[in-house]
Structure formats: structure tokens, C-alpha cells
A and B are shown apart, each in its own frame.
Chain A
Amino acid sequence: MAATTVGRRAGMRIPAWRAEIVVAGGAALFLAYLTVVPLAMLLLGAVSASGSALDFQFTTRYLERVVTDQASLELLANSLIYAGGAAALAFALGTAAAWAVERTNIPARSLWYGLALVPLIVPGIVHTVAWLFLLSPEIGWINAPLKTFFGFSLSVYSLPGMIWIEGLHTAPLAFVLMSAAFRAMDPSLEEAAAASRADAWKTFRRVTLPLLLPSVASVLLILFVRALEGFEVPAIIGVPGRIFVYTSRIYLSLKLYPPSFGLAAAYGLVLLAISIVGLVLHRRATRHAERYATVTGKGYRPRRLQLGRFRYVALGALGLYAFLAVVLPFLVLIYASLVRVYSVPSLESLRELTLSNYSFILEDELTRTAVFNSLILGLASATVVVAVTAVIAWITVRTRLPGRGALDFLAFVPITIPGIVLGISLIWVYFTIPIRIYGTLWILLVAYVTRYLPYGIRGTTSALVQIHRELEEAAGAAGARWWATFRYILIPLLRPALVGVWIYVFIISLRELGAGVLLYSSQSVVLAVRIFDLRDSGNYTSIAALSVFLIIVLVTLVSVLQRIGGRTIREA
């Protein structure tokens, strides 16, 4: 049938299926270039004795080192304890909050959903720096009074300190995921248990808990992988405290003399492997969850536990969390941005408040370059990601091309690649192939686009799935050609979702540190990297000013995103 259409060559029109194949083939090549090539180079780099994978000399030196020597075992132990601890803390905080908001009559319930925005508004590096201000051994807001009155201080440069800071920051993610799990659970399942004369405890143990178990497992795994991949806390807290994990070790193998790209690649490979195992287990847990069929898309109205007097205790606990995770860090940053030298606040220091830090970052050439670069990169990566993933989503959702599932898979692969591992992989790629973009904005753009493909594909696919196929078919039946359908039906209906994805990618790209920290040069410095650099030079008050500036920009963007999100929901 296809052959006859080509053979005839009667119409001017290219048969639709052929254009599809060209577009899909192009998309597949593009995705393979972004995902398969770096991973292949990482693998080659880990077993390559020379600096380029082209004049390849095989060696197992690096791999042997990362799995056998004593320091590596310590590295593995540290990484697992750090990521496991942070995941457990975030899970405990997030689940308690989710349970309170979803299943009790805690006051101001809808307000707490705002917690979900915290990780978007406060970048990891800003959060980490803020807690350094709070827990610094001598002059931290929390430690200084402890030392004065009780004669001891909490050490932030320790595993518990790292776990505390990371766990506090990722708890909102646990909150979002667990409240979705609570909401998706049909309360009639619990009511049926009650009607079978099970008391509250038996209902919880025999029905609620087993039903939630797959969600619990998957959320814990996500949090674990996230903590493992994180670079901010290990670099800013862990390195000075001499507590090393994989991400910081990769960074150091390139930054300490002599730099070893092979060793960095080998560590990257180990981290990638652990991350992949975690995500595969996560996928298995969620697939299992579907069999439980707790999600039917119905809006459930669960029975809420009446807390009585404890309502305000619960409210206080949630309030305390919000205070520690958002209010206190923000306050300390504002304070630090207004003083010349950071110290414990006193009448004296308050009298000498100054805006000099702000004028410093406004006049600092590198900071201005960083702001400009971040904006350019944000615009470019958001646009490329939306355009590419919209096309891929259309192919996977609307066509019956063979191999379309592989496109979807390829676009999802980067979710398993930690930012810093992507960085070392790209170094290997562009040291090897003769495209000289290392140290320019282009290599950062490649990194950002690769890293955000999964978010893009998720957003555009779910938007397209929600648009009933018949809306497009009706346009065809009404006499509209392909372009008219595209122009008058598809684009207007998709626009809110595409704009939403665009802004989301723009926001997260402004805060990216891990993927950029190995790839930048003084010409291609970006915001998060600039904060990281200022820390190296000990200029903490300027960091505070830049952090406050970044938070204000992000709050503005997030509120725009919220408004668009709200409109999308109303239109649907």
C-alpha cells in the first residue's frame, strides 16, 4: 500500500508517513547524540589510559582503584550513609506532613501545598550556604548561643550535618509524592475494613500500610537517588569536613593536582550504576503499585482524623518545619547580605547595615557575565527542550511508527545520569570528537538540554495524551489539512502546557550546579557556579546578596508558572 503511494507520485503532497519517518529519524539521531554518545564515552574514558578515547589504550587501573582500594570503600560507605540518611529524614518529615495535610483536620490545609514550591524557589546551593551561616561552628546563629550558654556547638562539617541539610531540603519532594499517594488511595478500601469490624489500628496495619507500601518504596528510592546525585552539600559541607562521597570525589579528581580524567570517569561509572539500580527498583515498585489499583482517577473524599486539641500541636510542628526550611534560611541570608563581615547579630552589627554587597555583585564583572549567561542558557535550553520533546511526544502518542517507544525511552535515559556524571561524560566527548566547544556556553547548553529532556518529555506527553485524538480527527473530517489542524487546533490546545514546561525548564536551569561545575570557563560562568566560586574565595556576604537576588528572581518566575498552571487547569 505504501509502495503504491510512492510509486504513483501523483500529488504534490509528500505522503504524511514519509515526513513522519524523516522527522522521527532525525529525532532519534539527535537523542542518541545527546544520551548514548556521552554514556559510551564515559565507559571508554573509564578504561582508557590516555587522555583521548581516540588513541585508545585499554587499562583497568582506574576501575580497579574505584572498587578495591581502602579509600573507595570508605567512599561507598559515606555515599550510602549520606544518601540513605538524607532520604530517611526527608521521607519522615515529608510523610508526616503529607499525612497531616491529607488525612487530618489540621488548620489551613490548602496553605501547606505551598511547601511543594520550596525546592523550586530555594536552590540547593542557596539552602546549603544558608545553613552554613546558621551552623557555622563559631559564628552560626544557632551555634554561637549554644557555645555561650552551654559550652558546646553542633558540628555542621559531619555526616549528620550533611544529612540534616540535604534531608530538610528534599522533604518537600517527599511531601508532594506521599500526599499524592494518600490522595490516590480509595478511602472506601479502609471503610470496607472498618465495616468488616477491624479497629483503627488493624485497618492501618492490614489495609492502609500494605496498600501504601509500593509508594513508600518508590518514594524512598527516588529520594535516595536524588541525594546520591546531589553535588551542593557534598561539595560545600563535605569537602571542608573531609567527608567525601562520589559526587565530590569526581569533582576533586579533576580539580586536585594532578587531575585524572580516567579516575573521574570510573567514579562516574560507579555512581551511574548505583543510580540506575535505584531507578530500576523504583520503576519496579511503581509498576507493582499499579496492580494495586488504588488510583482510579476519581476524586476521593477521605475521612479525616479529628485531632481535637492536637490540631494546634500538628500545626505548630508543620510551622516549625516551614520555619527551619524556608523562613530561617531566608532571614539569615538577608542579614548576611547586609553586613560587611558575617558575625552573630548584635546591636553593633545591626547599626552598620550596608548595601555594599549588592553593589559589589552588581559591579562584579564575573557576576554580570553569570547572570547574562544563565538567562541565555535558560532561554535556549527551555526552547530547545520544548521544541524537541513536543515533536517526540507527538510521534510517540499520535503515530504508529515502529520504534517510537525507543524514542520515548531515549528521552528518558538522562534521568538516570547525575549532573556531575554528565559533566565528566561531556568532557570526554568533546576531548575526543573534533567539535571544540569545551569551555563555551555551547557545551553547557548541550548538558542542560540533555539533563532536562526527561522533564520535557513528561510534560509534553501528558499534555498531548490529554488532548483527545478525536479533536484532531474532527478537524480532518471538517476539511482541514494537516497544517490547519496543527495551527488552529493542536497548538492552541497545547499552548498552556508548552508554556508551563518552558518556564519550568527555565527555572531549574537557573539553579543548575552539578552539570555546569566541570564544564564552565570564566567566559561561560553561570549563576550557581558563581555562588560556588565566591565561596572558594571566602566572600560569603556577597554570596548572600547573590542568593537573595536569585531567590527573588525564582519567586517571580514560580508565581508566573503558578498562574499559567492555574489557567491550564481551568481550561481543561
Chain B
Amino acid sequence: MTTLRVESLRKTFTAQRGAVRAVEDVSFTVEDARFFTLLGPSGCGKTTTLRCIAGLERPEAGTIRLDDDVLSGDGRFVPTHARDIGMVFQSYAIWPHMTVFENVAFPLRVSEHPPSRAETRRLVAEALVLVGLEGLEERPAPQLSGGQQQRLALARALVRKPKLLLLDEPLSNLDAKLRQRMRIELRELQRRLGITTVYVTHDQGEALFLSHRVAVMQNGRIVQEGRPRDLYASPASAFVADFVGDATFLPGEVVEGGVRALGGIVRCALSEALTPGAKALLVMRPERVLVRSAPAGLVNEFAGTLRVAAFLGDHLDCIVDVVGTELRARAHPTAELRREQRVWVELPPEHCLAIPDDGWRPRALARTFDDDET
């Protein structure tokens, strides 16, 4: 049973232009055998948080507890080498002057009570089997491919059978295909070993795929934490909605039973915070927006013009102009849709989410077109 508790963590860096709060009042708990992900854009403090857990950074305030042991806080600071962790770095940090075997055996050899030669050999072999690198013991580490180095880093992190596994964007240096495969393997391995894991990434797909729980970070703070499906379905802010999944944001004024937008009223459920007259943002997931070439006479149906209908294999990526507002939608790949034709979009009320408008907007709408340059 291993539980990681982080409370009110704070870390400041002194940069050229004064102090920068890298991590501010971050608290979370990772239950036993759970896969916990810190998700956010670069500079949001996720890696700094992980490095504090590893003891590679010294936080100014807050406590970090692994079960009953205080790793950091209350005037204590356990140095990295004395923490019962395994860590995979973004660069893999495979030691180039050692063989595969020597890399994996290193954590055993430098421990307080090094195991016997035979025992070391057995434990290394076991770790290598775990990641599918058996038989490569004598290979010099620099001769491994990127994917193999990644596995080697994982074997090295696991060989001591640590209580806690820390992963710092381990997949970001792999190409797209390999990344897909490795995340499946990583998920399987973590579920099988039941090792408590903290994972850092900026890739929302990885976070949703791998995690039991995800914490979204922004400017050094955790802005929302929850199960992947809850984050996706009920983002607490436009930032979270934008970072976890695709979305079109429709700003508008709250009225009775909906939000004024798209030249009419979009019917949706309203939380208690959203009283008539308040400013709200409607969050529309593209796959929830239905596009038809003829009106169906349903609630929340709006007429518009199809600006873009790009074929992406499993769907058509559409942009519909509804009275000057561009709305993203996904249509079936076989749908007979032509550019500039008149279409009707339906926004099913149960999938329309209204959140308070805090003024945040995605950095560039151009993001929408990144995927297809047709």
C-alpha cells in the first residue's frame, strides 16, 4: 500500500526579471496503485512538481509524504538518493558509457546493501523481461534505438521495485507510431505491477489514455482534477476545456433556459452560478455537433454555411459559419457535403455545456487548422 500526499507545495525560481512562482499551492493525493497525471502546457509547473517529489528541487513550502514518511516539509528534506522512487526522464538519461546490463544494475549496485552478483543478475534480467529487452544485456547503451532506450530507462526505474514511479514526459521523444504502442505497453505494465505512478505530460491524449486521475495545471496551480471522462465532459473552465479535447467556444449572455448565441438562444442546462444576465461560454465538442444538409426541425437547430469540409479518413472535419460565428463539427466520412453549401447544425442540449466566462480564450484560432492543410 503506497499513497503519495502533496500538500500546499510552493516553489519559486529566481530568473533574470525577478522571482517566478513555478509552483503555487499545489495539493493532491495519489492513492495506492493509481496512475496519476499532471497535465498542462509548458511552463505550467508540472515538471517542477514532479522534480520536487523526486527531491531534485527543494520546495519552499508544503509537505510531500510517501505513506507515513515525510519526504519534504516540516524542516525535513530527504535527498533524492534516499527516496524510494524510480524515475524516467524526458531525455531517458541512459548512461552512454555503460552497457544495457550496467545501466539497469546501477541502482542495485549503489544501494545500501547491494545484492549478490547472482541476485543482481536475476533482478536485472527480470526487469529487462518486464520491458521486453531480454537478451540485450551486453549491448552498449548508445547502440539502442529510441524506443529501446525508453524501455531501458523504464527497466532501470523499476529494478529496485520502488514504491513510487515518476515519469517525466517519457514518450515525447518518440515518433507518433511508436508513441502509440509504448503508451499501450506502459498502461498494461502499470496496471499489472500495481505501482503508484505520477506522470507528467502536455499531451492530453496520453493523459486520458493512461490515467486513473488527471490534474490540469495552469500557471503553477492545479485548476481541475478528476477522472479523465469527467474532465472531458465537465471542464471547469475554458482553459481546461481547450486543453483536454477540442472545443468551440461561444460567448453569450445567460437567459432563462439557455445562452444567447448564434443569432438565437442555445438551450442548455445551467448551473446555479449562471443566473440570467451573467456572461457565459458555451463549450461545444465538435463530435457532438450534428451537421445536416436539410433541417430536421429539432431544438437548438441553426442554419449556416459550410466553409470547410476536410476528409480525415474516419470523419469529415467541418467548419460551419452560423451568422458570422465559426463552429467546428465532425460529420460522417461518407456524408455528401459540399463547400459553401447551406447546412443545418444541431447542438443537442444535453451536450451543450455552459460555464462562467472568465475572459480566457484559446491563444490562436489557427490551432483549428493545424490538423489539415487541405
Chain A residues proximal to chain B, CB less than 8 Å: 1, 4-5, 8, 16, 400, 468, 470-471, 473-481, 484, 488-489, 492-493, 571
Q: Which 9 A-B pairs have the closest CB atoms?
A: A474-B93, A476-B80, A478-B107, A477-B87, A470-B93, A470-B89, A480-B110, A4-B75, A492-B97
Give complex CA distance A476, B153 in Å.
14
Contacts of A476 in B (CB 8 A): 54-56, 79-81
> How far is A16 from B160 in the complex, measured between Cα atoms in Å?
25
Contacts of B179 in A (CB 8 A): none
In the assembled complex, B85 has its CB within 8 A of some CB on chain A:
yes
CB neighbours (8 Å) of A468 from chain B are 91, 93
Set of chain B residues within 8 Å of A475, measured between Cβ atoms: 95, 106, 110
Beyond A473-B56, A473-B89, A489-B95, whether A479 also contacts B75 by CB under 8 A is no
Binding site for A on B (CB under 8 A): 14, 54-56, 58, 60, 75, 77, 79-83, 85-87, 89-91, 93, 95-97, 106-107, 110-111, 142, 153, 156-157, 160, 166
- Structural contact, A479 and B111, CB atoms closer than 8 A: yes
- The contact sample of 14 A-B pairs, CB cut-off 8 A, is A471-B95, A473-B87, A474-B153, A475-B106, A476-B54, A476-B79, A476-B81, A477-B54, A477-B81, A477-B85, A479-B81, A481-B110, A489-B95, A571-B97
Contact A480 B106 (CB under 8 A): yes
Min CB distance, A361 to chain B, in Å? 44
Complex Cα gap A484–B363 (Å): 46
Residues of A contacting B90 with CB < 8 Å? 470
B12 to chain A, nearest CB (A): 11
Summarize A's interface: helix, strand, loop or mixed.
Answer: helix
Contact A571 B91 (CB under 8 A): no
A471 to B79, CA, bound (A): 17
Cβ of A478 and Cβ of B56 under 8 Å apart?
no
Residue on B nearest A570 in the bound complex, by CB: B142
Whether the Cβ atoms of B107 and A1 lie closer than 8 Å is: no
Q: For B142, list chain A residues within 8 Å (CB).
A: 571
Given that A471-B95, A477-B86 are known contacts, is A1 also in contact with B58, CB under 8 Å in the complex?
Answer: yes
A479 near B160: Cβ-Cβ < 8 Å: yes
Report how far A488 CA is from B108 CA in the complex, Å.
Answer: 14
* Option from B14, B91, B106 in Cβ contact (under 8 Å) with A478: B106
**What CA separation (Å) do A476 and B83 show in the bound complex?**
9
Shortest CB–CB separation between residue A400 and chain B, in angstroms? Answer: 8
Collect the chain B residues with CB atoms within 8 Å of residue A571's CB.
96-97, 142
Contact of B106 with A493 in the complex, beta carbons under 8 Å: no
Once the chains are docked, how many angstroms separate the CA of A473 from the CA of B85?
A: 12
Measured in the bound complex, the distance between the Cα atoms of B143 and A571 in whole Å is 11
Report B-chain residues with C-beta under 8 Å of the C-beta of A479: 81-82, 107, 110-111, 160
Instruction: Give CA–CA (A384, B74) in the complex, Å.
Output: 43
Q: Are A488 and B85 in contact (CB under 8 A)?
A: no
- Measured CB to CB, the nearest residue on chain A to B85 is A477
- Is the CB–CB distance between B89 and A493 below 8 Å? no
Known: A478-B156, A480-B110, A571-B96. A473 touches B75 (CB 8 A): no
A493–B96 touching, CB < 8 Å: yes
A480 to B95, CA, bound (A): 14
Tell me, in angstroms, the Cα distance from A400 to B58 when the chains sit together. Answer: 12
